[in-house]
Chains A and B, each alone.
Chain A
Amino acid sequence: MILLANSLVSPGVGTIFWSALIFVLFLVVLTKFAWKPILSSVKARDEMIKGSLESAAKAREEMLKLQSDNEIILRKAREERENILKDAREVRDKLISEAKGKATEEAEKLVEKARVGIENQKLKALSEIHEQVATLSVDIASKLLGKKLKQSGEQAKLIDNYLNEIDLNKN
């Protein structure tokens, strides 16, 4: 049995030759026509999956960023609107108050002017009236005088009267 086993552990030249030939051919043919294409397509697939996952993560990140950007923009826009509205309100209030002030002033001025005018006119009218009255009275007086003066004595009396009256008036 030991002798027989001996043949088991002593490799035959022919078997080594055929083993080497078959294995090397197996290796060469498979390397060229099987392992290379198989491994490269497996690798390509792995890379594609990796790339897709990465780009998906990137897209998600970008979307989140965009979303937050949008929010910021929206918030800013809202703030802007608030500001603009506030400004507008202020301007309006200012305008209104200004206008009001001006109007009062103007009105006061107008009233003042009117009063001054009226005063002037009154004075003018009064002086005119004075004049008128004077002329009228002169006229009347002359008429009356014409009549009365015909009567003697009376003339001097009248003149004195008048003169007194005028003095009184003047006071």
Chain B
Amino acid sequence: MKTRILISFFLFFLIAGTTISSFGQEDKEKTATEGKFDASTFILDHIADSHEWHILTWKNGENVAIYLPVILYSKEKGLDVFSSKKLADGKEYKGYKIEEEGDLKGKIVTVNKEGTLDEKNLPLDFSMTKTVIGMLSAALIGLFLFLSLARSYKKSGISHPKGIQSFLEPVILFVRDDIAIPNLGADKYERYMPYLLSAFFFILINNLMGLIPFPPPFGANVTGNIALTFVLATCTFLITQFSGNKTYWKHIFFAPGVPFWLLPIMIPVEIIGLFSKPFALMIRLFANITAGHIIVLSLICLIFIFDSLAVAPVSIFFVIFMDFLELLVAFLQAYIFTLLSALFISMAVPEEHH
């Protein structure tokens, strides 16, 4: 048994090493013209959102990518929908192009008739980007999983869980018994269960999909995108504020036991506290997942930085190690986000007699 694991481990190393190294050669071709391999650009390009889903670059510099739909709205030109292939490699289309340098790198900008950048008239970009496709796929996978789960519950009634149920039910019960009930109390938790479960599984599926490098729609840095974490944190924020009861608001604007003259200081502090909690949620998830992706990519980049195949086994060993760690982080971050959401909501619904 042990030897078999060892053999498969080495086999994996061999295969992974060769594929990565050939991939590295392609990149080296490309970067060779620019001189030294720029790891930070490479990493940030992979982490940042993109209008195309880049798969690989051939030796002759040709890109293989999935071109995603671009949806733009600007006051002058109205709504424009087209494939991002038309903007690939810095091409210009309908007065739009993807900026390649500077502050707006990767964003779609408007180009003047003179061919210069028109920074005042940036279009609103509603494109289905890599992140959007990634999260859409995650949502569809989630919907498929849980709708079929619900169907199997309808079929089996209240008998013991089987099949997909036995796999997912413990996780659902974990969210219920270890996140919702301890924080919100047995009498209030039911109202918030749908949100907590949805947030938990949405984050979890996205985290896990982000860890799988290939093929699309896997491998996108979805939960490491601040827009998504912003939306999730906003949801928690809104639910918290809308379920806030009298005691909660009284504590914010008229904290009991605080001297009257302290209130002008306390009220702003409390109001900042309202926003800092979801802000922390947003940053925590974003930073953890992005950091994970950066570390994995950095370890792979080591091969190209040292420009040596000999580094590959070491690098891959660490990548595998990191991937296991990230697997833990994927669950952990989903858990922490849900736990803190439940905690914040519970702070908004204290017992009235308090």
Give the B-binding residues of A (Cβ under 8 A).
1, 3-20, 22-27, 29-31, 33-39, 41-42, 44-45, 48
Contacts and interface: CB of A to CB of B under 8 A. Distances in A.
Range, interface on chain B: 35 or more
B180 to A, nearest CB: 10
A35 B102 CA distance: 46
Name the 3 nearest CB pairs between A and B, nearest first: A15-B227, A11-B227, A31-B194
A15 B107 contact: no
A23 to B, nearest CB: 6
B44 A36 contact: no
Interface of B: 40-41, 44, 47-49, 71, 102-107, 124-129, 131-132, 135-136, 139, 142-143, 146-147, 149-150, 153-154, 157-159, 169, 172-173, 176, 190, 193-195, 197-198, 202, 225-228, 230-232, 234-235, 286, 290
A30 B145 CA distance: 10
Contact of B129 (A8, A15, A38): A15
25 contacts: A1-B40, A1-B44, A3-B102, A3-B105, A4-B48, A7-B103, A7-B105, A7-B106, A8-B44, A11-B227, A12-B107, A14-B126, A15-B129, A18-B126, A18-B132, A19-B135, A22-B135, A25-B139, A26-B143, A27-B198, A27-B235, A30-B198, A31-B198, A35-B197, A37-B153
B135 A18 contact: yes
Contacts of A22: 132, 135-136, 139
Contacts of A5: 44
Contacts of B202: 23, 26
Contacts of A9: 226, 286
Contacts of B102: 3
Given A4-B44, A13-B124, A19 B194 contact: no
A140 to B, nearest CB: 134
A23 B129 contact: no
A36 B194 contact: yes
Contacts of B149: 34, 38
A30 to B, nearest CB: 5
Contact of A37 (B128, B154, B235): B154
A1 B150 CA distance: 47
A31 B150 CA distance: 11
Given A12-B227, A23-B139, A23-B235, A48 B195 contact: no
Contacts of A3: 102-103, 105
Contact of A45 (B103, B105, B129, B158): B158
A110 B212 CA distance: 127
